[in-house]
Chain A
Amino acid sequence: MTGLRAVAVIGGGIAGIQASLDLAERGFQVYLVERSPSIGGTMALLDKTFPTLDCAICILAPKMIEALRHPKIRLLTYSEATGLSGEAGDFKLRIRRRPRYVDEGRCTGCGTCASKCPTKVPDEYQMGMSQRKAIHVPFPQAVPLVYTIDDKSCIHLTRGGCGLCEKVCEAKAINFDQKAEEMEVNVLGIVVATGLTPWDPTPLKEYGYHRFRDVVTAMELERMITATGPTEGKLLRPSGLGHPKRIAFIQCIGSRDLSKGLPYCSAVCCMHATKEAILVKEHEPGAEVTIFYTDLRAFGKGFRDFANRARDEYGISYVRAKPAEIRENKNRSLSFWYENTQTGEIAEANADLLVLCTALTPNPDNAALAKTLGLELDDNGFFRHPHSVLLPTSTTREGVYVCGYAQGPKDIPDSIAEASGASALLAVVGRGRP
């Protein structure tokens, strides 16, 4: 207790990484708990960021490496919080480290194991559009660069046999006997930064997702145009019919929705679509790109200019309309009727590739985490605050803070700013008030 200078951060996306770096710089020992095998979160899966069009992983990776190398930060990837007791200033946080079946100290990240692994499963980091092996890293720039065996699909772990990875690993890093490790850390407080999950638009059957081949979500498109994506950055129609010439984006799929989706605005999709539209134009200069929106949310710094640039420099059309029903024609192209709400004109549009800009929800595991940590969620799955105006980064448990998308819809700059805000509050926990 006296002299306790340790904190925990749950969630290793950009917000969690920023909070960890801020706290570590102030001299705290930081335990950064991340459920997946690597830190990086959603930002690591983006191609570029808006409105600057920076390469996402290029600006993120230095922070990830810094988190890895910082003497005060202990990365606990492939781990989960399992229990919390105590109070602000003196918490005991229990953490389970799931077995990777790979020795972190020995693995060099060479990837020979994956090249020999016979098991293929849908790759969740490519939004299921391509496959990965049972032994895998989420993406090439993973931190730590340590392979992980997915124990649900690994042949050896599920029914015995195989073991090829163990045979070929030169570093002798494979260890099928690895067990889960339970640990407990004593911390002053916690920052929760569990991020976002894209909403699955399948319930909105009228949009044809999972019914028509060339209907994709915005995150799927993002992976398609990224160099490390399932098509190595080539923009190709999932139907196999080559490059799309007419691309349409539809905004607010599941957002601002009082019937089947989420009632709130997801904040970033208008700019995300603008960014993707620009990137699509860069991939396919001759393509016709249209964004069908309800309200163009360009509220941040540089956003309006960004949208204007998309329209004026790149020739992207913005139409204030919301299609009601997507149809697939015999030649696999898609068509739909729409009312241009600004002119009242009723028209039919055709597209080779339809991009649904879906709602973004807080992590669906927040409910379980809230129970574990003794926190409250609001009706939409975001962490509740003791006062939503004055204490926007506090949770209902003193000493536990929240930042990033887990707090509410926001973009990367706001996530970073909020992470620093939450860290600042956490830094003075346990010091007593004047």
Chain B
Amino acid sequence: MSVWETSSRPKVSTIFTIMTILPSLIYRTGIPQDDCNQCGKCSSGCPAARVLDLKPRQVVLMVQRGMIDELVRSSAIWECTQCHQCMERCPRGVTPFDVIIQLQNMAVKAGLPHPESLDQIFASIARTGAVQGPQEVFDSDFEGYRRSDLGLPELTGPRDMVAFRRAVEETSRW
């Protein structure tokens, strides 16, 4: 019985368990957020922090304090540009980016609000192998071009779409 079915609020302890399932994927050094001394270097370089509300330092602080519920329900965790600056420069080996991604993954798994485009992208990939198929593009005279008009070859996606789909669905449930 999954915790997601019994209540709409994921239990904090369960969430911490989930956070250790894929350690080498998510954490480069175990549970690095313990090493964070809140210096703020991550927020200082974060491009999203300058235009929106996301502050990687604050995310790590809230994780340190066990405020996972608030985080997975926040819109701020979706504001990450994935530029990797925070984890590149952190002097303590903390990877705020990985923490943010893990929170995003948890929110999706728990069925909490998240950008619609994610579901659309997943559906498209599962169906065709790609985010979108070849589009018609236009020049400044509004003349349209397709790949063939530009001498570009037609390329095929996964050969066995059934197998592809199955593997994609399976790994999406890890």
Contacts and interface: CB of A to CB of B under 8 A. Distances in A.
A176 interface: no
B77 interface: no
A321 B35 contact: no
Interface string A325-365: 10000000000111111001010000000000000000000
Given A324-B85, A339-B49, A344-B58, A294 B44 contact: no
Contacts of B43: 339, 341, 346
A252 interface: yes
B91 A261 contact: yes
A337 B46 CA distance: 9
A339 B37 contact: no
A321 B40 contact: yes
B121 interface: no
Interface residues of A, number: 24
B85 A256 contact: no
Contact of B92 (A206, A257, A321, A338): A257
B81 interface: no
A256 B37 contact: yes
B107 interface: no
A339 B91 contact: no
A96 interface: no
Nearest to B47: A337
A320 interface: yes
Given A339-B55, A339-B57, A258 B45 contact: no
Contact of B45 (A257, A294, A295, A325): A325
B50 interface: yes
Contacts of A259: 90-93
A321 B44 CA distance: 8
Nearest to A348: B50
Interface in B22-64: 35, 37-46, 49-50, 55, 57-58
B89 interface: yes
B160 to A, nearest CB: 44
A322 interface: yes
Nearest to B58: A344
Contacts of B92: 256-259
A258 B37 CA distance: 11
Contact of A322 (B44, B50, B93): B44
Contacts of A337: 44-45, 50
A344 B46 CA distance: 13
A233 interface: no
Contacts of B38: 294, 341
Contacts of A26: none
Contact of B49 (A206, A260, A325, A346): A346
A118 interface: no
Given A259-B93, A346-B55, 14 more contacts: A252-B39, A256-B92, A257-B91, A260-B91, A322-B39, A323-B41, A324-B85, A324-B89, A338-B40, A338-B44, A341-B43, A346-B43, A346-B44, A346-B50
A168 B57 CA distance: 64
Nearest to A324: B45
A294 B37 contact: yes
Contacts of A321: 40, 44
B91 A206 contact: no
* Most A Cβ at <10 Å: residue of B40, B43, B58: B40
Nearest to B87: A259
Given A257-B92, A258-B35, A341 B50 contact: no
Interface in B82-132: 85, 89-93
Contacts of A206: 45, 89
A341 B40 contact: yes
26 contacts: A206-B45, A252-B39, A252-B91, A256-B37, A256-B91, A256-B92, A257-B92, A259-B90, A259-B93, A294-B37, A294-B38, A294-B39, A322-B41, A322-B44, A324-B42, A324-B85, A324-B89, A338-B40, A339-B43, A339-B44, A339-B55, A339-B57, A341-B38, A341-B57, A344-B55, A346-B44
B107 to A, nearest CB: 22
Contacts of B39: 252, 294, 322, 341
Contacts of B41: 322-324
A184 to B, nearest CB: 46
Nearest to A250: B41
Nearest to A261: B91
A37 to B, nearest CB: 37
Nearest to A341: B40
A338 B55 CA distance: 11
A25 to B, nearest CB: 44
Contacts of B91: 252, 256-261
Contacts of A339: 40, 43-44, 46, 49, 55, 57
